Structure 1
Amino acid sequence: MSWKESISSAILITLFVFISLQTGSWAGEEKVGTTTASFLKIGVGAKATGMGEAFGGIADNSTAIYWNPAGLGFLKTKELSYRHNIWFQETTHGFLGYAHPLQKFTLGVGIDYLTMGEIEETTEVSPQGTGKKLRAKDDTALFLSLSKRIKEALSLGINLKYIQQKIADERDAAYAADLGLLYKFSRLNLGLTLQNLGTNMKFADEEYSLPFNIKAGLAYKGIKNTTLALDVNLPKDNKTSYHLGGEYWIGGLLAVRAGYNSHISGNDLGKFNLGEGLSAGFGVNLKAVRLDAAYISYGDLGDAYRISLQTRFGGEKTEDRAGNESEIGSSDGIMVDTTPPYPIKFALVSGFVQDNLDSQPIKEAVVVLDDERIAYTNQDGFFSLSDVPSGRHGLSVRSNGYIPVKINLDVKDRESERKGLRLLPVAGGVLKGQVFVVDPEFGGGESGAIGPTGMRASDVNLVVAGYLKDYLVMVGAKVFLTRESDVTTTPLERVKLANAVGPDRFISIGHGGVSYPALNFTYTAHYPNSRLGVPLAKAVQAHLVKALGHEDRGNKDSSAYCLVQMACPAIYTHASLITNQEEETRLSSPAYNRKEAYSIYNGILAGYGLTSEDTASLSGKVLDENGRPVANALVTVLRAA
């Protein structure tokens, strides 16, 4: 992010915080009990509970629907969360949430519910009870969420909510909204949520407002896979509460959590009991499924336990990285039918997607019209989009293992001639099926070099490695990262992980630092006399120097542990010096990170005797309805900037 974007974002956040804090001046104990729908105050998700409900600045799963809808904008996969717990007595509380990332925004839906047991009806005539059983309480809230990242590190979100409450034989409903903001600095998150802005409810001829709350959250990603968090709540109907939490991940498989919730510790008739409000929990990460459990102390009311299940499915949303990188080609076959049955200004766009090498259909390829409408190919590689209005449209096709492309389609109303456009796909050639290990150097407690304003080389290495993975995956390669988050991995662990997958190439990504800030240079290292490693390093070095324009320090023999111990050709890229202030500024730009990754990708292709043009070539024919070639047909292929 540029300094201008950082300043504008900081101003936006400051204004949001100032306005919100002014709004929260009513909070105080004297207003306890003046609102309804109190079930909306019960936190959801065992992860958040285990961290003392300090989750407004984290909001990194589908329970962000409840905590801070802006967090949904950073999700990359479809995600489902579920929790159902028995509370005190016969009270049960549950939450079901689903988040669905799309190309431009993320949608979410959720349901939050609380039920109590039965009570016996009493009247003035029968104060001891009539024998009639009534449900004591049934509360439900339905959520519709929308979140959008408006900058690389800034996301906004909104919830629209329908809230229904039934108390004995009375019921009422209300409508409400939540507004959220989440800003991610390099290691610090700032979250802000305005909760339960809405209409009133009426019971026994009295109106009650919803429990409006302002939630401000901070989260700091510390060393050794640790996250620390703080939330401050300013509720309309109670005193300010403070929430502290921490999380520590062990090997990416097990998380240990602890927290403190001051709202609970002050909830026991004004007394403070040792241990009251404290919480603890753990999480187990099993690929696409995560199990979270938490324990929390309610003092004299007893202890409570929470268990929640979260599952992730579908591919990652890649429009921020690979999806927009159409400079390296695509695979598709498209047929356009613009002959409507009657004179209307709509048409049918249909076609098929094939593999260029064997002409076999590609199923489940993603076809996107104007970045809005989506279709998927069937078992035969066929797709269709109906009711397409006349005019120029952009159509893109992508599939795992193939290179995406965008083309322009000119759809005309009242078209009398039926034409078909068939473009054959292009596969990754010799890279298809190759196994790469991409190694983002350092991580966790080992930051590597640090820039003038605090940027860590380990963070930049991870970003560039992610972009490089995207490029290689698009040409059919299998890619493994030695780390996918800010965790500490020793050279021994990285080598062990890499050799376990049987790689064809090992690419380590690094950025260095020196005490003289004016210096900035590029070099690429390899194991001495490696038959395949030396030409690979030379090719990558040439493309890095050409793309970035820094001083060329050439190639270097290296006996670094990760290069010596690898069972395949291995190289280490030193693209630049983060200690150079101008370079640090450039490295904060995602576009510059992509540029670096793309130059390494081109160097890898050159090391295999290929170029990006080899993997992005496009061929095909324009045919009429009888299969005859059509001369002078216009075919436009667009490349993303």
Structure 2
Amino acid sequence: MKNYLVILLTLTTLIASGQTTRKYSNEFMNIGVDAAALGMSNAVVSQTADVNSGYWNPAGLVHLEGKQLALMHSSYFANIANYNYIGFGMPLDNKSALGISLIRFGVDDILDTTQLIDDQGNINYDRISTFSTADYGLTFSYARKLPLDGLNYGINAKIIRRIIGDFASSWGFGLDAGIQFEGNNNWKFGFMARDITTTFNAWSIDEAKFEQISGAIDGENQELPETTEITIPKLEIGMSKKWTFHYDYTLVAAANLNMRFAQNNDIISTSFASINPALGFEFGYTDLVFLRAGVGNFQNEIQIDDSEQLTFQPNFGVGFKYKGIEIDYAFTDIGDQSAALYSNVFSLNIDFSFFR
């Protein structure tokens, strides 16, 4: 029964009821990539300027001086779920650049006990099999400099593939758009609009498989869910400034405002939109060693006694860069500072321009 419920809840949670707009859909695309960015609580929309810009703000790809490759791995929920990312970017000319990236977020080796008991009530453990549930996001990015000095734009085209064993699968498509502007005195500003086309997912469900688990709870989930979900747009506005001390020391301070057009538990929430701030800091020495910290994901959580408690997510990180190779580490979680388990995130960036 426990495994029946796991599969049943997965199906009914991920598949929308009717062609409705959902507060949370394709959330795996919002977790974030690059340990350097995660260490700053994702407050990088304004200053991202490497291959990972394809995820954070494609406008930042125009700063690439050569081909770059990025890799990242992290585990969540006590290593139950694994998140892997690979990205590649390169300049096309002195005014434009392109990138491509792939994200996989999945849980593997889930027990499928739907065939454990046959029609006569006999139990046969040999009939137990395993399956995976995995989400894939493939992103194509393009960026270009605008005639106004310091102003750049970028766009993303995303293909979403979601698979729940052989029970259900979906295809989706969406677009993102971003802008960056670099002002005087190292001030930078960024704007990122995610899912501006209200990214959709069209699900295909195996009806025979669904019938096997639909009766797990009497009177509940007896009908096949509808098969289309739509992801609402999200906006991210950021600003940052960099200071240099005694030639060798640098400090970057950055802030983001993350806006979702739905009411939820964010620290600022209305019927029209919810806003969640994030702050990040990076201290660097000779562009070789970096220390990072950030705080974000501020939530007003309802307690058992109906009171509200403000929670937040602190992040920490370190980085090392040498001759085109950068290794970063972040210590973070996927929720707030008290409820979720912390994760160790590692990423690797390689700038091939240093090897020419």
Residue identity over aligned pairs, in percent, reads 23
Partner of 2:201: 201
Q: SS at the partner of 1:240?
A: strand
Structure 2 unaligned segments of length 5 or more: list them.
1-19, 204-224, 265-273
Match of 2:46 among 57, 79, 94: 57
Could you say which residue in structure 2 is the equivalent of 1:183? 181
Which residue identity does 1:283 align to in structure 2? G
Assess, with a 3 A threshold, how the Cα gap between structure 1 residues 124 and 113 changes in structure 2: closer, same or farther.
closer
> What does 1:324-363 correspond to in 2, within 5 Å?
none
Deviation, structure 1 residue 154: 0.8
TM (norm. structure 1) is 0.41
Pairs aligned (count): 284
Secondary structure of the residue aligned to 1:141 is strand
Could you say if the C-alpha distance between residues 268 and 296 of structure 1 is closer, same or farther in structure 2, counting changes exceeding 3 Å?
A: farther
Instruction: Give yes or no for the alignment of 1:158 onto 2:155.
Output: yes
Counterpart AA for 1:46:
A
Q: 2:289 aligns with which of 254, 276, 291?
A: 254
Higher relative contact order (CA 8 A, sep 6+): 2
Match of 1:282 among 298, 305, 318: 318
Flag the 1:43–1:266 CA change in 2: closer, same or farther, 3 A: farther
Q: How many angstroms apart in 1 are the aligned matches of 2:129 and 2:46?
A: 44
Letter in 2 for 1:154: L
Residue 143 of structure 1 contacts residue 160 of structure 1 at CA under 8 Å; is this kept in 2? Answer: yes
Q: Which amino acid aligns with 1:42?
A: I
Aligned residue for 1:301, secondary structure, equals coil
TM-score with structure 2 setting the length: 0.72
Question: Distance between the aligned counterparts of 2:23 and 2:131, measured in 1?
Answer: 23
Counterpart amino acid of 2:138?
L
1:330-409 equivalence runs, <5 A = none
Q: Which amino acid aligns with 2:85?
A: F
Q: Distance in 2 between matches of 1:166 and 1:200?
A: 15
The aligned amino acid for 2:239 is L
Residue among 41, 48, 59 paired with 2:37 = 48
| Structure-2 residue corresponding to 1:217 | 238
1:340-372 deviation digits (Å, cap 9, x = unpaired): xxxxxxxxxxxxxxxxxxxxxxxx9xxxxxxxx
CA distance in 2 between counterparts of 1:67 and 1:50 reads 14
Residues 296 and 234 (structure 1 numbering): CA distance in 2 closer, same or farther, change over 3 Å?
A: same
Matched, 1:228 2:253: yes
- State how 1:423-442 maps to structure 2 within 5 Å: none
Change over 3 Å in CA distance of 1:57–1:126 after alignment to 2: farther
Paired residue secondary structure (1:117): strand
C-alpha deviation, 1:121, in angstroms = 3.4
Q: Distance in 1 between matches of 2:33 and 2:297?
A: 17
Aligned-residue RMSD, C-alpha: 2.9
Structure 1 contact 84–308 (Cα < 8 Å) conserved: yes
1:267 & 1:75 partners in 2: Cα distance? 41
SS of the equivalent of 2:196 reads strand
Question: Structure 2: how far apart are the matches of 1:44 and 1:132?
Answer: 35
Aligned to 1:11: none
Deviation of residue 46 (structure 1)? 0.4
| Aligned-residue offset at 1:33 | 5.8
Alpha-carbon distance in structure 2 between the residues aligned to 1:34 and 1:124: 35
Paired position in structure 1 for 2:3? none
The reply to whether residue 143 of structure 1 matches residue 143 of structure 2 is: no
Q: Which residue of 1 aligns with 2:344?
A: 305
Distance 1:211 1:66, change over 3 A: farther
Deviation (angstroms), 1:243 = 0.8
**Superposition pairs of residues 439-478 of structure 1, within 5 angstroms:** none
Amino acid at match of 2:278: H
Distance 1:129 1:139, change over 3 A: farther
Residues 233 and 241 in structure 1, CA contact (< 8 A), matched pair in contact too: yes
**2:91 equivalent to 1:94:** no
Q: Distance in 1 between matches of 2:87 and 2:62?
A: 15
Q: CA deviation at 1:262?
A: 2.1
The CA deviation at 1:92 is: 0.4
Q: 1:268 to 1:40 in 2, by over 3 A?
A: farther
Query: Residues 132 and 260 from structure 1, CA distance in 2 versus in 1: closer, same or farther, beyond 3 angstroms?
Result: same
Q: Distance in 1 between matches of 2:130 and 2:200?
A: 24
- Offset at residue 314 of structure 1 (A): 2.6
Question: Which structure features the higher share of helix residues?
Answer: 1
Question: In structure 1, what is the Cα distance between the partners aligned to 2:86 and 2:108?
Answer: 21
Q: 1:304 to 1:171 in 2, by over 3 A?
A: same
Shift of the 139–292 alpha-carbon distance from structure 1 to 2, 3 Å rule, reads: same
Cα shift at 1:75: 1.9
Q: Secondary structure at the match of 1:300?
A: coil
Does structure 2 conserve the Cα–Cα contact (< 8 Å) formed by 1:195 and 1:214?
A: yes
- The alpha carbon displacement at 1:196 in A equals 1.9
- Mean Cα displacement is larger for which, 203-212 or 61-70? 203-212
User: What is the CA-CA distance between 1:147 and the residue it aligns to?
Assistant: 0.4
Matches of 2:292 and 2:339, distance apart in 1: 23
Q: Identify the residue that residue 25 of structure 2 maps to in structure 1.
A: 36
SS of equivalent residue, structure 2 residue 231: coil
Deviation at 1:137, TM superposition (A): 1.7
Q: Which moved more, 1:39-48 or 1:84-93?
A: 84-93
C-alpha distance in structure 2 between counterparts of 1:140 and 1:267, whole Å: 30
Q: Aligned-pair distance for 1:241?
A: 1.4
Structure 1 residues 180 and 45: CA distance shift in structure 2, 3 A: same
Q: Which amino acid aligns with 1:194?
A: A
Identify the residue that residue 12 of structure 2 maps to in structure 1: none
3-state SS in 2 of match to 1:116: strand
Q: What is the Cα deviation at residue 95 of structure 1? A: 1.3
CA contact (8 A) 1:122 1:129 kept: no
1:313–1:268 distance in 2 versus 1, CA, 3 Å = farther
- Asked if structure 1 preserves the Cα contact closer than 8 Å seen for 2:116 and 2:128, the reply is no
CA contact (8 A) 1:81 1:98 kept: yes
